[in-house]
Amino acid sequence: MKAPIDYVLHLADNALVLGQRNAEWCGHGPILEEDLALANNSLDLIGQARLLYQHAADQINGDAALAQRFAHLQGARQDGRVTEDTLAYFRDTSEFRNHTVMELPHHGPLVGYAVSERDYAVTIARNFLVSALMVLVWDRLQASKDAQLAGIAAKSLKEVRYHLQHAGDWLVRFGDGTEESHRRAQAAVDHLLPFCEAFWQPGPAERAAAQDGTGVDITALRDDWNTLVNETLAEATLTRHDQPHQGYVAQGHVGVHSEHLGFLLAEMQSLARAHPTAVW
Amino acid sequence: MTEASLQAVAQAVAHLADPEIPVISLGELGILREVREGGDGVPEVVITPTYSGCPAMGQIEDDIVAALRAAGLPGRVVTQLSPAWTTDWMSEAAKEKLRAYGIAPPQCGSQPASQAGVLQFSRHAAKPVDVPCPQCGSHHTTQSAPFGSTACKALYRCLDCLEPFDYFKPY
């Protein structure tokens, strides 16, 4: 049994977009060890994305109706077959199904002509909030009725557990550190938490996957996620100011993205699009 | 296909080493899972990735194909994910080779994927493990960084002989 294609792409896009974001620290890390840590984190995420895209590509190539749907992609081969690269490099912004929180830049909201600077607190807070979700998701997906997806889940779980530990440790250090690090960590958490509300409002593909047993019922993970998040925030002396179910809920996972994804994809995809037949 | 021809394939790839850790064979590392007959009668060499993004996997696949071609044998490489690779598959002999090469081998068993519940595990960070220095054997060591030169290693430092060293993470 295979998971719905849009569900696999949702998981793959989450991993790829966050992996690409974190890779922006490569060569710019606040300290050498963290530069390496983020590069390793990206390597894991992009590796997970590859496995998921390959799984999606296998399904597309084996199903005439699906093949038709993706045949327009520039990177598709003459015979209409797609690869992991086609799905990563040749889909446009509105075709991506990642959560909005993955694509946000490494800083809080800006006003007017404010100059942006990467803020490591935002990077760490996001990795923490997302990893806390993904340990729960991958854990449940080990029992997916899609055997390949279950295999990917078992691999990814081990990796994301390490990411959670890394980000959680730093969040505690920042929150319980200096006045400045506390202020920045609190601002990062305040900025990102509202975007996490989208986790609990699954799109059609997530609902379909939960129903046929290939996916997880994400809404059932909310209490566990809150436990993980609240415990670490308390240890970090940080406060939760988010109020569930109020205001706008981010829609990236159903294809309505922030202005930031387009820039991220432009940078990531430009080489492959300029040289669609290149091999490396 | 005969048992003998499968054995010939197994033999042709048995000596291949991990590209990053040349002292340890793919079999000892647990990456090389089996040699079997494919549905169409072509021998298949089954490998499993250590980490999802391990950049050595492409090289390993190329090495296997090259070894088969050099031996004039048919065959292809199949990547299999399940069950997920774990350092528990590493033999004691392999761990000793790692240590002699200067990489501290994984110290305890890997954490089972979700035995006690993933929530329980994630809430309580693993206790720091006692990693003896591969150079001088001292247990007086400390972690410099949780991420090291490759996805599978962390960076440690010996507080007695003062040498930095790689630690192969239990996984």
CATH number of domain containing B17? 3.30.300.130
**Eight-state DSSP code of residue B106:** P
- Same domain, residue pair B133 and B64: no
- Is residue B122 very low, low, confident or very high in pLDDT (cuts 50, 70, 90)? low
- Whether residues A158 and B83 touch (CB distance < 8 A) is answered with no
- Residues B88, A101: contact at Cβ < 8 Å? no
Tens digits of residue pLDDT in A107-153: 998 888 888 889 999 999 999 999 999 999 999 999 999 999 999 99
A-chain residue closest to B116, CA distance: A139
Rounded CA separation B55/B49 (Å): 10
Q: Specify if A169 maps to a domain.
A: yes
Residue B166's DSSP bridge partners are: B103, B155
Flag whether B11 is in a domain: yes
Nearest to A154 among B53, B84, B146 (CB): B84
Q: How far is it, in rounded angstroms, from Cα B116 to Cα A67?
A: 42
Compute chain B's Rg from CA coordinates.
18
Q: From CA A195, how far away is CA A197, in angstroms rounded?
A: 5
Joined tokens for residue B34: 């089996």
Count Cβ atoms within 10 A of the Cβ of residue B117 and give its class: 0-12 exposed, 13-18 middle, 19 or more buried: exposed
Residues of chain A found within 8 Å of residue B151, distances taken between Cβ atoms: 40, 43-44
3-state secondary structure A196-241: HHHHHCCCHHHHHHHHHCCCCCHHHHHHHHHHHHHHHHHHCCCCCC
E strands within chain B? Answer: 32-37, 43-47, 76-79, 103-104, 141-145, 153-158, 164-168
Q: What is the CATH number of the domain that holds A249?
A: 1.20.1260.10
- pLDDT computed for residue A245 by the predictor: 64
B96 and B139 belong to one structural domain: yes
Q: How far is A135 from chain B (nearest CA, A)?
A: 7
* Gap from B2 CA to chain A (nearest CA, Å): 30
Chain A environment of B149 (Cβ under 8 Å) = 36
- Asked if residue A214 lies in contact with residue A1, where contact means CB atoms within 8 angstroms, the answer is yes
Beta bridge partners of B43: B37
Q: What is the dihedral of CA A128, B126, B155, B59, to 10 degrees?
A: -80
Q: Which residue range(s) make up the domain with B148?
A: 90-112+122-168
Q: Which of B135, B130, B125 is nearest to B164 (CA)?
A: B135
For residue B32, report the phi and psi dihedrals to the nearest 5 degrees. Answer: -85, 110
> Which residues of chain B make contact with A43, given a CB cutoff of 8 A?
51, 53, 55, 151
Please report whether residue A157 resides in a domain: yes
SS3 for B144? strand
Contacts across the A-B interface (CB distance below 8 Å): 102
Question: In chain A, whose CA is at the least distance from the CA of B170?
Answer: A158
Backbone angles phi, psi at A30, to 5 degrees: -60, -35
B42 and B99 assigned to the same domain: no
Nearest to A251 by CA among A10, A4, A5, A3: A10
pLDDT of residue B137: 92
Mean of pLDDT values over A48-76? 90
Total domain count, chain A: 1
Mutate to test the interface with B, among A22, A43, A133 (most CBs of B within 10 A): A43
Instruction: Give pLDDT, residue B126.
Output: 54
B126 touches A at CB < 8 Å: yes
More confident residue, B91 or B101: B101
Please name which of A69, A45, A171 lies closest in space to residue A120, comparing C-alpha atoms: A171
Q: What is the domain count for chain B? A: 2
pLDDT of residue B164: 94
Is there a single domain that holds both residue B96 and residue B50? no
Note whether B119 contacts A: Cβ–Cβ < 8 A: yes
Per residue in B18-69, pLDDT tens?
888 889 999 988 899 999 998 898 999 999 988 888 888 889 999 999 999 9
B141-145 sheet: strands from edge to edge: B103-104, B164-168, B153-158, B141-145
Q: Is residue A85 part of a domain?
A: yes
Q: How far apart are CA B133 and CA B139, in angstroms?
A: 6
The pTM assigned to this predicted structure is 0.91
Residues B30 and B97 in one domain: no
Strands B32-37 and B43-47, bridge-based pairing: antiparallel
**pLDDT, averaged across chain B:** 86
Residue B99 and residue B129 in one domain: yes
> Are B99 and B71 contained in the same domain?
no
CA distances, B64 to each of A21, B10, B13, B76 (Å): 34, 10, 6, 8
A73 domain residue, yes or no: yes
Task: List helix spans (H) across chain B.
Answer: 3-14, 26-29, 56-70, 92-101, 118-123
> What span, in angstroms and rounded, lies between the C-alpha atoms of B62 and B41?
21
Domain that holds residue A23: 5-106+117-274
The answer to whether residue A126 sits within a structural domain is: yes
